[in-house]
A and B are shown apart, each in its own frame.
Chain A
Amino acid sequence: MISDTSLDEYVAAAAGLQGFALDADQLARVQAVFRRNAAIAELVMGFDPGESAEPAPQFRP
């Protein structure tokens, strides 16, 4: 599990890299959302779908 501090540092760096000029309040709000996203993403990152589950370039059901 990635620490909140690491996630917050990632968000600050990634936002800067992508050209967002966020003030402190804005950054704090985005960091809070990203922490929630990371908790959800753990459900897929902690899952092994096997080698056959490569995503298709264009999904077809």
Chain B
Amino acid sequence: MSATSPRSALAIAAAVARGETTAMAEVEAALARIAAGDGVINAFTAVTADRARHEATLVDQRRARGEKLPPLAGVPFAVKNLFDVAGLPTLAGSRLHERRPVADCDAVLVARMQAAGAVLVGALNMDAYAYGFTTENTGYGPARNPHDTSRTAGGSSGGSAAAVAAGMVPITLGSDTNGSIRVPSSLCGVFGLKPTYGRLSRTGSYPFVASLDHLGPFATDVADLAASYDAMQGPDAADPACGQRSAELVSPGLGRDADVPLRVARLCGYFDRWASAAARAASMRAAEALGAHRTIELPEVERARAAAFVISAAEGGALHRATLQRDYDRFEPHNRDRFLAGALTPASWYVQAQKTRAWFAEQVRAIFADVDVLVAPATPVAATLLGEEWVELGGERLPLRPSLGLFTQPISCIGLPVAAVPIVGAGLPLGVQLIAAPWREDLCLRAALQLERAGIARCDIAGG
């Protein structure tokens, strides 16, 4: 990248608060980085320069008046284009949505980031309707991996991870139904957080699978991840899945508790069987650094993944049935037949999948009685070439695109919080999942911080 890479979000906010820089200068720098790099990376589908300059002006005026600034004041951020942004059509990765009316207000999480002082600079590329793991979007082109632009950024929040990995912005938001935060985090080498199902409001975001959809942040370090997560917490009665819990802030205790030992176990069995040697090594390295002294084999993981698959097919298919009837020929070719087949799912499959999910959640919940954090690979392989169709794993030749979710689907199926953490190593980035009991994002982030401080986890800005 020709423009300078950004500092961390918290470093920017601190510098703005001290008057060492201005929100406007930070926004202009971010816009310059996007202009310099996005022609190749293709992370952005819209750049909201006018809005960003207006918001930056407001932040700088507050400082000039001597007001105490909020925690992310002047921090540029961007969001997957399934978040409502006032004045833009909510694309959800689909050219068909360009005809829809523009959003009349921001999604709740966008508004909460703005209330925390962050400045929105744009909307980001994704797999159409979030049904994919590679962001090979026919309508908008692929998001490219900043570490090797011939390779996928992962998906479906590929633009979100690529924008952070390329150093365009320090924080982005994405969604994760079956792995769409964790897969691109792993392949682009950035930190990501998929909170507990129901933790963060989804109001004003375009759904994929209502009973599995989560939203969360990407960042270049753990402190930024925690700060953005904290900024977005809080109940929302308008989202029926959103818990009515008060915000449980993690940032204040993160550094204080960082050295408190955690009870850590590494997931084996299914996770070892399907992982490449590099992915298995990353998981073992992280587990060892966290002092893991045991391995655990989750029961019936394949069935849990199958349950997530069936639920996704059925709910996603039902959501898009009318559009497919009307616009099949203009629907994203990569997933229109999958959505349509999903719309034909027998009800008995769907109900049985939900029952399997509930059973699996109960089994895994019991494990957390004597374990704080489970470690597993985030993806079975590092970023593959764009257009790749097959991958060899566990001695079998498997279709690549669905296989990227092998390790994430069983976990999001039961709504557990997960920090996706990039593990330092040779070659292309690879991440691990740090998984905790429901509502214990603090433990995921504490483990992530321990790895970061030990030099095991780090986000390297591409070309930086």
Contact = CB atoms under 8 A, between A and B. Distances in A.
Contacts of B13: none
B341 A58 contact: no
Nearest to A34: B341
B45 interface: no
Most chain A CB within 10 A, of B302, B352, B414, is at B352
A14 B309 CA distance: 20
A39 to B, nearest CB: 9
Contact of B310 (A15, A18, A44, A49): A44
A32 B345 CA distance: 14
A49 B355 contact: yes
A18 to B, nearest CB: 6
Contacts of A60: 197-198, 243, 415
B325 A20 contact: yes
Interface string B401-417: 00000000000001110
A44 B303 contact: yes
B313 interface: yes
Most chain A CB within 10 A, of B243, B303, B416, is at B303
A33 interface: yes
Nearest to B353: A44
B341 A45 contact: no
B362 interface: yes
B303 to A, nearest CB: 5
Given A20-B340, A43-B306, A61 B300 contact: no
B343 to A, nearest CB: 6
Nearest to B241: A58
B343 A18 contact: yes
Interface string A21-47: 010001001101110010011011101
Interface in B227-251: 240-241, 243
Nearest to A12: B344
Interface in B192-226: 196-198, 211
Contacts of A32: 337
Interface residues of B, number: 45
A14 B416 CA distance: 35
Residues of A in contact with B, size category: 20 to 34
Contacts of A54: 355, 358
Most chain B CB within 10 A, of A11, A33, A50, is at A33
B195 to A, nearest CB: 10
A16 to B, nearest CB: 10
Given A30-B340, A33-B341, A44 B313 contact: no
Given A15-B344, A44-B310, A49 B359 contact: yes
Nearest to B416: A61
A53 B414 CA distance: 13
B390 interface: no
A43 B303 contact: yes
Nearest to B417: A61
Contact of B325 (A19, A41, A43, A55): A19
B358 A61 contact: no
B325 A53 contact: no
B356 A30 contact: no
A47 B303 contact: yes
A10 B348 CA distance: 14
Contacts of B341: 11, 30, 33-34, 37
A37 B310 contact: yes
A56 interface: yes
A22 to B, nearest CB: 8
Contact of B358 (A20, A34, A43, A56): A56
Interface of A: 10-11, 14-15, 18-20, 22, 26, 29-30, 32-34, 37, 40-41, 43-45, 47, 49-50, 52-56, 58-61
Task: Give the 7 A-B residue pairs with the shortest CB-CB distance, closest first.
Answer: A61-B415, A55-B354, A49-B359, A43-B306, A33-B341, A61-B438, A53-B359
Given A11-B344, A20-B324, A53-B355, 10 more contacts: A11-B341, A18-B321, A33-B341, A40-B309, A44-B352, A52-B362, A55-B355, A55-B357, A55-B358, A56-B358
30 contacts: A14-B344, A18-B344, A30-B340, A30-B341, A33-B337, A33-B340, A33-B341, A34-B341, A37-B313, A37-B341, A37-B342, A40-B309, A40-B310, A41-B345, A41-B349, A43-B303, A43-B306, A47-B303, A49-B356, A53-B358, A53-B359, A54-B358, A55-B357, A56-B358, A59-B241, A59-B415, A60-B197, A60-B198, A61-B198, A61-B438
